[in-house]
Amino acid sequence: MKGAVSVIRSLEAHGVDTVFGYPGGAIMPVYDALLDTNIRHILTRHEQGAALAAIGYARVSKKVGVCIATSGPGATNLVTGIADAFMDSVPLVAITGQVPSPFIGTDAFQEVDVLGITMPIVKHSFLVRRTQDICRAMNEAFRLAASGRPGPVLVDLPKDIANGDAEFVAPDDGGAADPDPACDDNAIARARELMQRAQQPVIYSGGGVISSNAIREFRDFVDATQIPTVHTLKGIGALAAGHESLLGMLGMHGLKCANLAVQECDLLIVVGARFDDRVTGKLSEFAPHAKVVHLDIDASEVGKLRRAEVTIVGDLKDALPRLHVRPSIDSWRAHCEVSKTNHAWRYDAPTQGVYAPRMIRDLSLAASEDVYVTCDVGQHQMWVAQHYRFKDPRHHLTSGGLGTMGFGLPAAIGAQLASPNSTVINITGDGSIMMNIQELATVKRYGLPIKIVLFDNQALGMVRQWQELFNAKRYSQVDLSDNPDFSMIAKAFEIPSMRVERGEDVPNAIEKILNTPGPLFVHVPIDTAANVWPLVPPGASNTNMMTESVA
């Protein structure tokens, strides 16, 4: 069979049912082979959309996402998506066409060294030099993408190799990921000892809980230990909103009670998190009184930024059930509970217009647990993280590590295709939506019933907020008051739209968002001056949270 056909057979062998991509010259053999398979190809309108949609698909389906592009600009357009998958540990296989082997290194038309460009942002990459290596490269790519800490793998396929004669080589073990290693007994014993002695412990959980599919084990762990728990942006939903032990999100835009608990704790149990700078604030002043127990599948994350007294490297599903230690912390729990009450969110902002945090909160209260929410990046992203009450972590899709504006719409496309009977809502901003607005054509082409809720403050709001607070209101290149007419844009793609300008119109809008059968574009103008609170200034300790009254 042709090499390109063996690529498709490999995808089939790994259980791939949906791929996202965009054809071009060097990848034509693969697109020809796609005509003879049942694998569904989703044609996006930009390769970045393909990569981000594949991420959305992977995060909802729990499968490896697949995106395909041609050489040169097709490959470079995938780069942001590949980086996003790398930073957020999403299993992704990116297949790129490459110029024919004799042309590599000659500055040929649409030639780019995508292997070199992507080296810092992949788990591994293969430039396939021999046709007989195609299937082995594909098998390794899928195994690597899904094993251990998940991430992206690139397979770069020169056109002559794709057109050569190949034999299909089936994956070992049906293409299963490597089993995660069990955890060290001694480390578990030392962690239990620290937990038993702790007087003010806090659990700090992250995206690793979700990546490792250890949600049930994590919830059992929290319930068994009764330890107050905070989470990162990527850890939202691992513990359902409203859980009695949950203090909320920590970090730059976290809840004050969550940050204060971490600053006061004497033991920090870090579960699948990595001390990101948006979480810790000034690292040297983060959790200053705490001993640290750090659990992670990735040994290189342990001790990278904060020394841990106990490190537990391995599968959370193995470790967490062995840490069911309940310390005597009634007074500490009571202290955290009071703090939680004192610093609870308020939704009584005096405004005639729409107050975005309240609309997001009300939307989540009206929505079923099966609703998926994708975000872009900026103020609306933080409002979703703060105010949408997630019950399941896989229902919150956000670009955490890379912070990719333009993530939300393609991710919603991937999520909707992975869960066709669910309601998928993309909550976005007027800066972000324009980054991948072309994917409205994909929504239309495939008849996807995605709801787009655009909070439009006619500005790059988060940058504007920082310029207001930290640059003496010297606003530089954040004005978007010349935004296009979004209702006309929606109409051009045959997507119904509505405009929500007053607070009293929000209930009707929420009803429409949740009950309209097809796609819907909801344009919500909001106050340009509305900011995200609270806020830890960059470089400051998490103890020093700015609130609206201080600003």
Partner 1 sequence: MNSKLYVRMTFVEGALIRLLGLAGRRGFGIAAVHARGAEGGLYEIMLELVGTRSIETLQRQIQKLYDVDVVEVIPDGQVAALKFDARPAPFVQHMAV
Least Cα distance to 378 among 465, 477, 278, 249 occurs for: 465
DSSP state of 348: -
Restricted to residues 95-134, the positions that interact with partner 1 (CB under 8 A) are 115-116, 119-120, 123-130, 133
Of 373, 368, 420, 377, residue with least CA distance to 395: 373
Asked whether position 298 contacts partner 1 by CB under 8 A, the answer is yes
Among 303, 507, 518, 539, binds partner 1 (CB under 8 A): 303
Which amino acid belongs to residue 260? L
- Residue 362 is a binding residue for partner 1 (CB under 8 A): no
139-147, 205-213, 376-384, 520-528 -> range binding partner 1 (CB under 8 A) = 139-147
Which one of 117, 241, 299, 546 is in contact with partner 1 (CB under 8 A)?
Answer: 299
CB-wise, 122 or 382, nearer to partner 1? 122
Residue 375 near residue 397 (C-beta atoms within 8 A): yes
- Contact with partner 1 (CB under 8 A) among 53, 112, 114, 137: 137
For residue 22, what are its two tokens? 């965009």
Length in residues, the chain: 551
Q: Which is nearer to partner 1, 136 or 335 (CB)?
A: 136
Q: Which is nearer to partner 1, 152 or 393 (CB)?
A: 152
Tell me whether residue 300 or residue 547 sits nearer to partner 1 (CB atom): 300
**Closest CB 145 distance from partner 1, rounded Å:** 12
CB of 155 to partner 1, least distance (A): 10
| Sole residue written with tokens 């939704």 | 347
Is the bond preceding 534 in cis, omega lying within 30 degrees of 0? yes
Give, as one character, the DSSP assignment of residue 435.
T
Q: How far is the CB of 116 from partner 1 (least distance, A)?
A: 7
Nearest distance from C-beta of residue 119 to partner 1, angstroms: 6
Nearer to partner 1, 144 or 252 (CB): 144
Residue 299 or 514: the one with the smaller Cβ distance to partner 1 is 299
What is 361-376 written as a DSSP string?
Answer: HHHHHHS-TT-EEEE-
Q: Which of residues 142-161 bind partner 1 (CB under 8 A)?
A: 144
Of 16 and 308, the one with the shorter C-beta distance to partner 1 is 308
Look up residue 344 and give its DSSP letter: -
C-alpha distances in Å from residue 94, one per residue of 12, 34, 88, 308, 429: 15, 16, 16, 35, 28
Check binding of 93 to partner 1 (CB under 8 A): no
Do the Cβ atoms of 81 and 50 come closer than 8 Å?
yes
Handedness of CA 466, 471, 472, 475 (dihedral sign): negative
Catalytic residues: 47, 109-110, 159, 462
- Minimum CB distance to partner 1 smaller for 157 or for 425: 157
Which residue's CB is nearer to partner 1, number 116 or number 484? 116
Asked if residue 212 lies in contact with residue 297, where contact means CB atoms within 8 angstroms, the answer is yes
Judged by CB under 8 A, the number of residues near partner 1 is: 24
Q: How far is the CB of 97 from partner 1 (least distance, A)?
A: 17
**Lookup: tokens for 256:** 């004050």
Please name the helix (run of DSSP H) or strand (run of DSSP E) that holds residue 125, with its range, or none. Answer: strand 124-127
Among 45, 190, 282, 304, binds partner 1 (CB under 8 A): 304
Kindly state the smallest distance separating residue 519's Cβ from partner 1, in Å: 41
Closest CA to 124 of 93, 158, 163: 93
Shortest distance (Å) from residue 250 CB to partner 1: 23
User: Quick one: tokens of 361?
Assistant: 């909160």
Identify the helix (H) or strand (E) that includes residue 97.
strand 92-98
Query: C-beta of 53: minimal distance to partner 1 in Å?
Result: 26
Minimum CB separation of residue 178 from partner 1 in Å reads 13
Rounded to the nearest whole angstrom, what is the least distance from the CB of residue 129 to partner 1 in the complex?
A: 4
Whole-Å CA distances, 371 to 408, 418, 419, 426, 429: 15, 13, 10, 11, 19
Q: Report the DSSP beta bridge partners of residue 72.
A: none
Cα Rg of the chain, angstroms:
24
Q: Which range touches partner 1 (CB under 8 A), out of 137-145, 350-358, 393-401, 487-495?
A: 137-145
Tokens 């007087």 belong to residue: 199
Nearer CB in complex with partner 1: 32/298: 298
Q: Is 300 among the residues that bind partner 1 (CB under 8 A)?
A: yes
For residue 544, give Cα distances in angstroms to 22, 254, 535, 537, 547: 47, 12, 9, 8, 10
Does the protein bind partner 1 through residue 317 (CB under 8 A)? no
How distant, in Å, are the alpha carbons of 202, 295, 296, 522 from that of 301? Answer: 19, 9, 7, 41
Determine contact, residues 96/155, Cβ cutoff 8 Å: yes
Interface residues toward partner 1, by CB under 8 A: 115-116, 119-120, 123-130, 133, 136-137, 139-140, 144, 298-300, 302-304
